[in-house]
Amino acid sequence: MPWEHIGNCGYAQVPHEREWMECCMELGIVYLRHVCGDPPPGCEIDIMWHEHELGNYATIGLLWGDPQTDVPWEYVNRCETALAAFHEAVSWSEINPTTIQGLFETDKTDKDEEGESS
């Protein structure tokens, strides 16, 4: 199946945050569909996993079934631009589940301490 790279978004540590990496890519795909519309007929935007000696990593790309079909460059270029803007606009470290879970633990500790002093 032919594949054209669009880009990636989010920050995740490979391989420890595989689910978070996948979530970032899925958010990117939702954004691309909203901004750029549905892909051309016979094509789909999807996550492509790549093997690396340090662990697998994901990117977003456009796939299509017919190898004879030309790459829909106008759509790919729009998606590349939109995905780069999305990636830069989001504070990925602030919404990373590891960061958020740490905040929950701090909230719980603060509430436990408040309960002890009452």
Identify whether the C-beta of residue 26 lies closer than 8 Å to the C-beta of residue 45.
no
CB 57 within 8 A of CB 49: yes
Report domain extents, the chain: 3-92
pLDDT tens readout for residues 29-82: 999 999 999 999 999 999 999 888 877 889 999 999 888 888 999 999 999 999
C-alpha distances in Å from residue 10, one per residue of 7, 72, 80, 92: 11, 25, 14, 6
Sign of CA dihedral 48, 50, 55, 60: negative
8-19 per-position pLDDT tens digit? 999 887 777 889
Q: What integer pLDDT is reported at residue 39 of this predicted model?
A: 96
* pLDDT given for residue 79 in this prediction: 98
| 96: helix, strand or coil | coil
The pair of three-digit structure tokens given for residue 32, joined into one six-digit string = 């691309």
**Tens digit of each residue's pLDDT (9 = 90 or more) over 69-117:** 889 999 999 999 999 999 999 999 899 888 877 666 655 555 556 666 5
Report the pLDDT value the prediction gives residue 13, as an integer from 0 to 100.
78
